[in-house]
Chain A
């Protein structure tokens, strides 16, 4: 080689380059050529293997060119760069530099787009920690949305990971449904206060990025839980990484029940029974009949008859008593029977009547219809509308209690009854009347401790803050 002159050396280098290009092309032919259905003649070995073992980035989710560019530019220093960015993000958060925090989080994700925990953590951070730093409720809602949108982007970039889809459902469900600001957030979810989402008629519309059809938050959450369960079906794994499988699969049906429950609390009783019926059926026939794998990969179903237990025991190669134990453990863990019975009670038309009567009575009280009247002609006192309706609700409650005595020992039903009594007492106080020594729910009221009564008192005050005074 040393005898070659410069020109000859260049020719040799050129030939070597072309020769080396062959194996590179053979190995690295792009995946798209293979996926096109044409015979690639053995080309693209690496792409084929990536596809076969689900190792390609494209199989994980949408590929972001900027993310790939950033990783390329960093020349293998992705780890240290991400660590520095994480530290920066923490500092920005401490110093309330929200714009920089958001931009830094985006940069981290460009570096580590398939690191599931980062999507979960930062999505949570934005929706829960950052949002609560803001004072005004519309600002809090904005950051809750940012967290949800961030996590949604995570599902696009990692569309084979069920837990991310589940988390989106969980965020929507819990932030809109049970947070301190739920009253506002549920409203904002359908009618976003940001004027840019106003409809052509000038009323607030939903943010299409999280609620395209303007649905109830629980219905949107349910859709995400469904998607999560679908991903779970298709990911080829027995369980789900990051969550106990039996809890994970309950997402859609729990959202359905919460939807039916919350609507009733907000005074929407149309289709109440149908929604609870749907919840009950899903709980019994879909969730209850799903094949879960318990300890030592033994199969069980939450809704199993004695015969089904025997069949499953045989299938698992264990004794029926062991199968029953396995079943019992999991039924207890997810409180399966309670939710079954709860849905069963709520789908009963009598229960709808109780809720409706109590809701109407509360509305009457809040609208200032708690004051009694006096009929001068007959010289009699006419009880207030609120009192009449409350007494009706209390009587109905007692009727249904006889039908479901066990379920009515649950705190939610007891609290509802006690609140009826509290309203009823308040109506008496309003009319300067002593509380009668006997009334329909007296024994229940008297059986409660002082703490429970105080709790009901507080609930009553919270609910009646906006009462009209005639």
Chain B
């Protein structure tokens, strides 16, 4: 699958639609007025106004009864014209398709894809010519043989004829499409071999947002390019800090599934609730690798993480000069970070040119993001640190604004480095003063999941599925262990369960093992260490409570003990801790999943849709129906366009016009938009023609005088304007293919990303086309050939 489709922005689309329609309406009315005056002189005004009033009157006095009568007529006519014969072609194709498809692939997932692609393509492309002919030929033919004359002499309004025609043809098309769809569904169930039927399903994905962290720890939009011609995926290098990070939104109870799991390695299974992740990563090797990796594939590992420090300070690591500060902040070494920030401030003050302008931009962005993230936590323990970051971001903005103005305007204004340095000093001071609060307030929780071998290009293979149980038990790192023990001690202390008089409770080890889910060996170690600290005077017992003698927080005390290696797990599993996937790892509905490649000198390639949360699968019929809905909307749009055009021109011209619209909209719309937005490299039409004639390339440019060049470029601008106008009236037919792409790849068709855009495009053209077609038919002279 090679797409990265985003949810459709209906509001933005509607606004843009209203503007275009408004402008076109104004142009149409203005033009009609001018033509009327030009043709009739002064009386043209009254001709125009009476025509407009009549037209509007028609619009507001539509009769459903007359429309349905006309619809019925169209239906009968279409049947008489043997439109249903298209069924025969479809049947023949399905009957003989086995000749071409059966031997193609032995593998189930490949077979299913080929069959589904064939079926959906056959349905769309068989109906397409029939629909184009029917819609473009019907009205001109009626006018030619004068059968329309009898209709228009009746009380039927001309816009009703248009609507009736569109409705009638649409019904015929939908009827045929439904028949084909049903036959196709049975055909595909029959054609897919028994062993492959399981593959005929619709996976329901929840896609996230992806960004990368480079081996140096720097966040970036893309990873490494390994030289693949197709730049869809970018890669992370193995056995390094490089990560691909996905953020999934709206993760709640509804996203969980139930699955039979074997949690303790025995034969017994239980039903567990959790999230199912599925990946579609690509592997790239620079060495052959071990025999195991050759047989099983490259290894990947997921880490679920809730890391506010990464969110707040990750962006600061852009640029060599800023990275030490960012790394210290990420590692919660706030006092060290404070010192490094003072050094940075001093460097900016004394040798500002040592930093590149890009470093100042990175610094400003990093400070701004840090301020926003810290402020969003609304934690009093952070004191005024968010504001200090904000102030330094503002100072940074002044620096980069001045630098930019100086560069653009060739000015020599004084850059306010001093202001930035002073602001950074304040931040440094704030960090040092509030180090303990920051440490408490910004806890990092990382849960590494078991490593797995990816199964490249095997859609939905078991190896690519990872079930994450809601209750996660994992071996904790130092920080998590410290926070866990601090929380246990604080809770138990508050309940008076730790100490008796001036000593620890005699049964404390057993109590902790039973009540705090700590293994007996580790519980015993903890009690021993607490007793040692009590003896050493670091802790003391007072009124049945255990307290820290110097008033430090429990986390600080335990963290120092852990780092002094006094609490190394006695249990072979380590310090096993249980966390809840939704309560502890999901924040505001967001779940962060980091992906690492474990093999040295190997790479994992990925794009945004390559990791998703897989909800319970849906029946193939559901996705298939949505894909057919999209195809039907495409066909209906062609009918609407065909009927509209045929109101003013003859059949062959209408046919040519509609076909052109379809071909441009289907095959060249993307190119047209890329050209207009500048995404497509190259020059204008005339400039390109000259370059081709002169056998020169765009880098060298044209060999013409500057005047000729200006003229050509001006003319190209004009042509580009025409292209822009054209792009506004040619529908993007590729939106109707999106449904098929999802189904071909075994996915359900997402409503927001694939169905809504198709409906919006169809409706966006339907209403203006009815208005236009009504007007064209109303004001044309039927006898004019």
Which residues of A does B touch, CB under 8 Å? 65-66, 69-70, 94-100, 102-103, 106-107, 110, 134-139, 142, 180-181, 184, 466
Q: Which residue of B lies closest to A153 (CB)?
A: B103
Q: Which residues of A contact B109 (CB under 8 A)?
A: 99
B86-129 to A contact mask, C-beta < 8 Å, 1/0 = 00000000001001110111010111011001000000000000
Q: Which residues of A contact B294 (CB under 8 A)?
A: 136-137, 181, 184
* Docked CA distance A98–B96 (Å): 23
Q: Which residue of B lies closest to A209 (CB)?
A: B106
Which residues of B does A touch, CB under 8 Å? 2, 96, 99-101, 103-105, 107, 109-111, 113-114, 117, 229-230, 232, 282-283, 285, 288, 291, 294-298, 454-458
* Docked CA distance A292–B285 (Å): 46
Most buried by A among B101, B114, B285: B114
> Are A136 and B296 in contact (CB-based, < 8 A)?
yes
Q: Which residue of B lies closest to A137 (CB)?
A: B294
Q: Which residues of A contact B283 (CB under 8 A)?
A: 135
Q: Which of A99, A107, A466 contacts B105 (CB 8 A)?
A: A99
**Could you tell me the distance in whole angstroms from the C-beta of B218 to the nearest C-beta in chain A?**
27
> Are A66 and B96 in contact (CB-based, < 8 A)?
yes
* Docked CA distance A398–B455 (Å): 50
> Are A106 and B457 in contact (CB-based, < 8 A)?
no
Q: Which residues of B contact A106 (CB under 8 A)?
A: 100, 103-104
> Are A96 and B107 in contact (CB-based, < 8 A)?
no
Q: Which residue of B lies closest to A183 (CB)?
A: B291
Q: Given contacts A66-B100, A135-B456, A181-B294, list 14 more A-B pairs with CB under 8 A.
A: A66-B99, A70-B100, A94-B230, A95-B232, A98-B110, A98-B457, A99-B107, A99-B113, A103-B100, A106-B103, A107-B100, A110-B100, A136-B456, A139-B457
Q: Which of B111, B229, B458 contacts A94 (CB 8 A)?
A: B229
> Are A69 and B96 in contact (CB-based, < 8 A)?
yes
* Docked CA distance A94–B96 (Å): 29
Query: What are 19 contact pairs spanning A and B, CB under 8 A?
Result: A65-B99, A69-B96, A96-B282, A98-B457, A99-B110, A99-B111, A100-B117, A102-B105, A102-B110, A106-B100, A106-B103, A135-B282, A135-B297, A135-B456, A136-B294, A136-B296, A136-B456, A138-B295, A184-B294
* Docked CA distance A79–B458 (Å): 34
* Docked CA distance A106–B97 (Å): 13
**Could you tell me the distance in whole angstroms from the C-beta of A77 to the nearest C-beta in chain B?**
16
**Could you tell me the distance in whole angstroms from the C-beta of B484 to the nearest C-beta in chain A?**
39
Q: Which residues of B contact A65 (CB under 8 A)?
A: 99
> Are B288 and A180 in contact (CB-based, < 8 A)?
yes
Q: Which residues of B contact A96 (CB under 8 A)?
A: 2, 230, 282, 457
* Docked CA distance A102–B115 (Å): 13
Q: Which residues of B contact A97 (CB under 8 A)?
A: 2
**Could you tell me the distance in whole angstroms from the C-beta of A403 to the nearest C-beta in chain B?**
38
> Are A135 and B285 in contact (CB-based, < 8 A)?
yes
The list of the 10 closest CB pairs from A to B, nearest first, reads A99-B110, A66-B99, A135-B283, A103-B104, A135-B456, A99-B113, A136-B297, A103-B114, A95-B2, A137-B294
> Are B296 and A100 in contact (CB-based, < 8 A)?
no
**Could you tell me the distance in whole angstroms from the C-beta of B280 to the nearest C-beta in chain A?**
10
Q: Which residue of A lies closest to B463 (CB)?
A: A136
* Docked CA distance A103–B2 (Å): 18
> Are A95 and B117 in contact (CB-based, < 8 A)?
no
Q: Which residues of A contact B229 (CB under 8 A)?
A: 94
**Could you tell me the distance in whole angstroms from the C-beta of A416 to the nearest C-beta in chain B?**
23
Q: Which residue of A lies closest to B228 (CB)?
A: A94
Q: Which residue of A lies closest to B117 (CB)?
A: A100
* Docked CA distance A138–B293 (Å): 12
> Are B295 and A136 in contact (CB-based, < 8 A)?
yes
Q: Which residues of B contact A95 (CB under 8 A)?
A: 2, 230, 232
Q: Which of B101, B117, B456 contacts A139 (CB 8 A)?
A: B456
Q: Which of B101, B230, B298, B455 contacts A103 (CB 8 A)?
A: B101
Q: Which residue of B lies closest to A138 (CB)?
A: B295
> Are A100 and B114 in contact (CB-based, < 8 A)?
yes
Q: Which residues of B contact A138 (CB under 8 A)?
A: 295
Most buried by B among A69, A95, A102, A136: A136
* Docked CA distance A138–B110 (Å): 16
Q: Which residues of B contact A99 (CB under 8 A)?
A: 104-105, 107, 109-111, 113-114
Q: Which residues of B contact A66 (CB under 8 A)?
A: 96, 99-100
* Docked CA distance A139–B456 (Å): 9
**Could you tell me the distance in whole angstroms from the C-beta of B92 to the nearest C-beta in chain A?**
10
Q: Which residue of A lies closest to B288 (CB)?
A: A180
> Are B105 and A103 in contact (CB-based, < 8 A)?
yes
Q: Which residues of B contact A69 (CB under 8 A)?
A: 96, 99
Q: Which residues of B contact A98 (CB under 8 A)?
A: 110, 457
Q: Which of B96, B101, B288, B457 contacts A134 (CB 8 A)?
A: B457
Q: Which residues of B contact A134 (CB under 8 A)?
A: 456-457
> Are B113 and A100 in contact (CB-based, < 8 A)?
yes
Q: Which residues of A contact B454 (CB under 8 A)?
A: 135
* Docked CA distance A180–B232 (Å): 28
* Docked CA distance A66–B98 (Å): 10
* Docked CA distance A107–B113 (Å): 16
Q: Which residues of A contact B100 (CB under 8 A)?
A: 66, 70, 103, 106-107, 110
* Docked CA distance A181–B295 (Å): 10
* Docked CA distance A76–B76 (Å): 37
Q: Which residue of A lies closest to B232 (CB)?
A: A95
* Docked CA distance A106–B106 (Å): 13
* Docked CA distance A110–B97 (Å): 13
> Are A184 and B103 in contact (CB-based, < 8 A)?
no
Q: Which residues of B contact A100 (CB under 8 A)?
A: 113-114, 117
Q: Which residues of A contact B291 (CB under 8 A)?
A: 466
* Docked CA distance A102–B296 (Å): 24
Q: Which residues of A contact B230 (CB under 8 A)?
A: 94-96
* Docked CA distance A377–B230 (Å): 72
Q: Which residue of A lies closest to B99 (CB)?
A: A66
> Are B298 and A137 in contact (CB-based, < 8 A)?
no
Q: Which residue of A lies closest to B1 (CB)?
A: A97
**Could you tell me the distance in whole angstroms from the C-beta of B671 to the nearest C-beta in chain A?**
15
**Could you tell me the distance in whole angstroms from the C-beta of B200 to the nearest C-beta in chain A?**
14
Q: Which residue of B lies closest to A140 (CB)?
A: B294
**Could you tell me the distance in whole angstroms from the C-beta of B107 to the nearest C-beta in chain A?**
7
Q: Which residue of A lies closest to B295 (CB)?
A: A137
* Docked CA distance A362–B375 (Å): 68
Q: Which residues of B contact A102 (CB under 8 A)?
A: 104-105, 110, 114
**Could you tell me the distance in whole angstroms from the C-beta of B236 to the nearest C-beta in chain A?**
15
* Docked CA distance A104–B297 (Å): 28
**Could you tell me the distance in whole angstroms from the C-beta of B237 to the nearest C-beta in chain A?**
16
Q: Which residue of A lies closest to B454 (CB)?
A: A135
Q: Which residue of A lies closest to B101 (CB)?
A: A103
**Could you tell me the distance in whole angstroms from the C-beta of A294 to the nearest C-beta in chain B?**
43
> Are A135 and B104 in contact (CB-based, < 8 A)?
no
**Could you tell me the distance in whole angstroms from the C-beta of A194 to the nearest C-beta in chain B?**
9
**Could you tell me the distance in whole angstroms from the C-beta of B439 to the nearest C-beta in chain A?**
43
**Could you tell me the distance in whole angstroms from the C-beta of B630 to the nearest C-beta in chain A?**
20
* Docked CA distance A97–B105 (Å): 12
Q: Which residues of A contact B288 (CB under 8 A)?
A: 180
**Could you tell me the distance in whole angstroms from the C-beta of B774 to the nearest C-beta in chain A?**
41
Most buried by A among B2, B101, B294, B455: B294
* Docked CA distance A106–B117 (Å): 15
**Could you tell me the distance in whole angstroms from the C-beta of B420 to the nearest C-beta in chain A?**
48
**Could you tell me the distance in whole angstroms from the C-beta of B89 to the nearest C-beta in chain A?**
11
Q: Which residues of A contact B105 (CB under 8 A)?
A: 99, 102-103
* Docked CA distance A466–B295 (Å): 15
Q: Which residues of B contact A142 (CB under 8 A)?
A: 107
Q: Which residue of B lies closest to A462 (CB)?
A: B288
Q: Which residue of B lies closest to A136 (CB)?
A: B297
**Could you tell me the distance in whole angstroms from the C-beta of B172 to the nearest C-beta in chain A?**
26
Q: Which residues of A contact B117 (CB under 8 A)?
A: 100
Q: Which residue of A lies closest to B285 (CB)?
A: A135
* Docked CA distance A447–B492 (Å): 77
Q: Which residue of B lies closest to A106 (CB)?
A: B104
* Docked CA distance A137–B294 (Å): 6
Q: Which residues of B contact A135 (CB under 8 A)?
A: 282-283, 285, 297-298, 454, 456
* Docked CA distance A110–B455 (Å): 32
